[in-house]
Structure 1
Amino acid sequence: MQTVAAALDRLGELAASPTVARLAAAFEAGGHELALVGGPVRDAFLGRPVSDLDFTTDATPDEILAIVKPIAEAHWDIGRAFGTIGAKIAGETVEITTYRADSYDGASRKPEVVFGSSLEGDLTRRDFTVNALALRLPQLTLVDPSGGVEDLVAGVLRTPATPEQSFGDDPLRMLRAARFSSQLGFTLDDDTRAAMSTLAGAIERISAERVRDELSKLLLTGSPRGGIRLLVESGLAERVLPELPALSLEIDEHHHHKDVYEHSLTVLDQAIDYEVSRGNLDSPDLIVRLAALLHDIGKPATRRLEPGGVVSFHHHDVVGAKLARKRLRDLRFDNDTIAAVSRLIELHLRFFGYADAAWSDSAVRRYVRDAGEQLERLHILTRADVTTRNRRKADRLGFAYDDLEARIAVLAEEEELAAVRPELDGQQIMALLDVPPGPVVGEAYRFLLELRLDEGPIGADAAAERLRAWWAARGPAA
């Protein structure tokens, strides 16, 4: 947290930049107010990088367009219905929004847009006091009607209005509270936390797409664990991601197993560490983090109490993959993300057999083939899934996975393993067997693929000879 003087100096430097200075001059010349608002002002106080430039004004969307057109390289009005105009000015992208006074009618999934008349009124309708800060331009006057600077110093999230009113106006703000608690490392004040629990059911008024976006932003923070805990403890997770609180399985005195909920949070933490340290993915990676958080959601449905105090979760990988696919589909995630996350969950146990007995080259090839494009993410998830406090066991698993990755690298160099495919394609199969397109071609292709996985590259001539032998043994009429 920077001092007020240091933050104002940073904001002064920002206001002097070509983009902000040009905008401020244009709005002043047009007889309208303009203020830098929200995240950029907050981050100046926190010493964080300022990326997005958000402005607010008393000008209507039409008036905003008239002001920015002469000075913008490009402009767009996709958010016009909500009072927002976007533009690119002096090489930077900005958004300018008319003063707002949104409210919900208690039933609609979208806010009713009502334009406001003052900067102070606009700020008091925002989600949290730390985001209800503005810098009037070009005067460089800080506007803080709700004590946001004091809350920044204290590291507290609090709503400008009562939390009941704020969350009633937009229930999505409860999810934003969880996200900002992780993103900023802040705690919620008692009234705000209590209101989240009381009003948790109101989140069902919010569209799945908005919930999805906010959950994704939470997972993409540097340390999402605290925000996830807040969702579970408030009851919000029960409404938007019920598989998560279900991981808190009852543990009786006779049957012992690790706390699956705590284990999942630890796996998420460790997956983030691997994601960053390995450096093979663009970080943050949403697919890795979703898979880490959800990898054991099949356990509640498969939990069995066995004789001798053992708890089993047979096939929880397969069940979990199905549950994840359904939940992510309900949250309107895209098909590629759904497929990737569910595949990782389905495969996350595959490695543990390797630690007990080294695999053949054939088994290693199958591991790579089945992972496909998700291989690096599977490496991360599998390593992160080792949370045992038994150092000898953890080291044994770590060394085993090091060995597996080394073997994959060697085989990949020898065989172009990432693109394992039969040495004859469909056209060659049809010509060799003198068959038309149909199921038999797929059957032959699978035979050749298994041959390739079992024995590695044997050459097209040898593959053709083996295919003829398979065909003769199978019989065309089979």
Structure 2
Amino acid sequence: MPVPVVPPDLVRAQENAAVDLVPIHPVADELAVRFAAAGHRLYLVGGSVRDALLSQISSRATEQTDLDFTTDAHPPAVLAVLEGWAEAVWDTGIAFGTVGARRHGTTVEITTFRADAYDRVSRNPVVAFGETIDDDLVRRDFTVNAMAVELTGGEQGRDRRFVDPHGGLAALAAGTLDTPATPEESFADDPLRMLRAARFVSQLGLTPAPRVVAAMTAMAGELARITKERVQVELTKLVLGRHPRRGIELLVDTGLCEYVLPEVPAMRLAIDEHMQHKDVYTHSLVVLEQAIDRETAGPDLVLRLAALLHDIGKPATRRKESDGRVSFHHHEVVGAKLTRKRLRDLRYSKAVIDEVTQLVFLHLRFHGYGTGEWTDSAVRRYVTDAGPLLDRLHALVRSDSTTRNRRRAAALQRSYDSLEQRIAALRAQEELDAIRPDLDGNAIMQLLGVPPGPLVGKAYRYMLALRMERGPLGAEEAEAELRRWAAENGIG
């Protein structure tokens, strides 16, 4: 990207102003003194500088507990500087020139100037140390991450200097995401940077430069070189960002989503059954935003993924009915299967897979009861099937109402209010969150005189269904019901 020529005096004034905007953590000051004493230069760099400047520009305070530095010192010299100062040191990244340390609860990573080359087949660089800070900054992913503050300048090693050869500060102020080198060169080196671009759109609210979007579109297929684990990490950060809809839209518009969540762009083919939305894809993005508005304890990965994926079964179940309307019967069942398969492929944890899949499977359960009165047995089954996901299910179902018909929207919310009131009333009467049969397995075996085996499980399931239907029975009634069931099934 060409950088406009600026008079030297103006450059210095801008650098001074920028330095004043970056609060320097006390740990960084301590580290700078030690590097200067050893005759080395030390720069605060990357996300540490970006986030500090962004907090000043947006007036959104951020606390820095992780600091990134770059230096002209090679790893053995870095280890020598840290000796006796750091409370803990780790060298797992030393092959890439990185040494980690901790001091007073703050984590620091110090990396020797890099001037790597890439083989354009894998994303693993051939590590090469650079000679200058400019060598290091030009290889970084985006201009907003290619800024640095030198902490060891001047004769006493205490002067600070802002280094921004690629216009990162101006890009940050303008809300623009661009690359130091050409985006084609940057993304060829590491295709994961295309997914990181969408992540920064979500996290920071930046708008990608047209040339970045064009390169992402042309090179989307290169993402296939990246391992599923790395893709999942970036996708998770994107989904948990402040503007995930914008990040998802960028992935879909550039074709990258075909290599991450192909079921999401596929929803553009299905018009929703109410004929109220452009397509199911747009509806799902609205549901995602509405679910975020209902979060009460910070970003919720499970809820957000469920909101985004809850209708991915619709394209496969789309049918045109005789009256001309479109239906998607059992799309929640198909969607749950697709969700489980996709999240497994992305190497999500079993807990995340199970919880998101269950929410997708249950998201239509409420609508299955229509607007009629909820019976006690229906409430018990709803709560039991949701289990610990009940609050998230409440949020998902309420968020799934995107109709523009205000009367219909209000009716749906009132109906769900009624359900929640029924749950609260029944919970006050029963142990609704831990429903068990009135007779456990031991009691069943003793009463029927049978050993452990499939018969006990069959009897247990019958008693559980009875408990769901009729509520607590009491010991005598439960025993009588079990004996009746045993007699009907020829069990002596």
TM-score (norm 2): 0.90
The one-letter amino acid of 1:308's match is: D
Match of 1:21 in 2: 29
**What amino acid sits opposite 2:237 in the alignment?**
K
Distance 1:251 1:92, change over 3 A: closer
SS in 1 for 2:311: coil
Distance 1:368 1:147, change over 3 A: same
CA deviation vs aligned residue, 1:32-86 (integer Å, no higher than 9, x gap): 2211111121122222414331111222333322322311122223333333222
Contact 2:205/2:242 (CA < 8 Å) preserved in 1?
Answer: no
Higher mean displacement: 407-416 or 305-314: 407-416
Q: Which amino acid aligns with 2:203?
A: Q
1:470 deviates by 1.5
Note if 1:99 corresponds to 2:113: yes
**What SS is found at the alignment partner of 1:85?**
strand
Residues 102 and 323 of structure 1, relative CA distance in 2, 3 Å threshold: farther
Distance 1:55 1:463 in 2: 69
Give yes or no for contact 2:16–2:162 (8 Å, CA) kept in 1.
Answer: no
Which of the residues 230, 255, 258 maps onto 1:238?
258
Q: Distance in 2 between matches of 1:411 and 1:77?
A: 57
In structure 2, the partner of 1:385 is 400
Superposition RMSD in Å:
2.0
Q: Which residue of 2 aligns with 1:8?
A: 19
Matches of residues 65-214 of structure 1 in structure 2 within 5 Å?
65-138=79-152, 139-214=159-234
Which of 203, 207, 227 in structure 1 is aligned with 2:247? 227
Of 3, 25, 38, the residue aligned with 1:30 is 38
After superposition, the Cα gap between the structure-2 partners of 1:436 and 1:72, relative to the gap in structure 1 and judged at 3 Å, is same
Q: Note the C-alpha offset of 1:257.
A: 6.1
Residue range with higher mean Cα deviation, 152-161 or 402-411:
402-411
For 2:349 and 2:146, the matched residues in 1 are separated by 33
Instruction: Write the mapping of 1:40-79 to structure 2, written as runs, cut at 5 A.
Output: 40-47=48-55, 48=60, 49-51=62-64, 52-79=66-93
Is the alpha carbon distance of 1:4 and 1:310 closer, same or farther for their aligned partners in structure 2, counting shifts above 3 Å? farther
The worse-fitting range, judged by mean Cα deviation, of 189-198 and 452-461 is 452-461
Q: Return closer, same or farther for 1:299/1:250 CA change in 2, 3 Å cut-off.
A: closer
Partner SS state of residue 55, structure 1:
strand
Q: Distance in 2 between matches of 1:416 and 1:67?
A: 61
Q: How does 1:252-401 map to 2 (within 5 A)?
A: 256=275, 258=277, 259-275=279-295, 279=296, 282-401=297-416
Mapped partners of 1:112, 1:422: distance in 2: 63
Task: Show structure 1 runs of 5+ residues with no match.
Answer: none
**Contact 2:221 / 2:256 at 8 angstroms: preserved in 1?**
yes
The worse-fitting range, judged by mean Cα deviation, of 209-218 and 66-75 is: 66-75
What is the alpha-carbon distance in structure 1 between the residues aligned to residue 38 and residue 140 of structure 2? 26
Match of residue 465 from structure 2: 450
Q: Report the number of matched residues.
A: 466
Q: Distance in 2 between matches of 1:255 and 1:29?
A: 71
1-structure distance, mates of 2:417, 2:128: 59
Question: Is this contact kept in 2: 1:109–1:207, CA < 8 A?
Answer: no
Determine the structure 2 residue equivalent to 1:39: 47
Contact 2:238-2:247 at 8 Å conserved across structures: yes
Paired residue secondary structure (2:115)? coil
Q: How does 1:430-469 map to 2 (within 5 A)?
A: 430-469=445-484
C-alpha contact 1:133 1:148 (8 A) present in aligned 2: yes
- Bigger drift between 110-119 and 379-388 goes to 110-119
Greater Cα shift, 181-190 or 194-203? 181-190
Structure 2 letter corresponding to 1:185: G
Whether contact under 8 Å (1:103, 1:170) holds in the other structure is: no
Structure 2, unaligned runs of 5 or more: 1-13, 153-158
Inter-partner Cα distance in structure 2 for 1:316 and 1:250:
12
Aligned equivalents of 1:407 and 1:29: distance in 2? 70
CA contact (8 A) 2:69 2:108 kept: yes
Identity value in percent: 59
Kept in 2, the 8 Å contact 1:38–1:133? The answer is: yes
Distance 2:463 2:161 in 1: 73
Change (3 A) 1:4 1:244: farther
Tell which deviates more after alignment, 183-192 or 124-133: 183-192
2:7 equivalent in structure 1: none
SS at match of 1:283: coil
How far the C-alpha of 1:465 sits from its partner, in A, is: 2.7
Q: Deviations over 1:265-321 (max 9, x none)?
A: 00000000011xxx2xx3201111111001100001111111222001111100011
Q: CA deviation at 1:232?
A: 0.5
Counterpart-to-counterpart distance in 2, 1:5 and 1:307: 71
Aligned equivalents of 2:283, 2:75: Cα separation in 1: 50
Secondary structure class of the residue paired with 1:71: coil
Q: Which stretch of the first structure deviates more once superposed, 50-59 or 367-376? A: 50-59
- Tell me if structure 2 keeps the 8 A contact 1:354–1:400: no
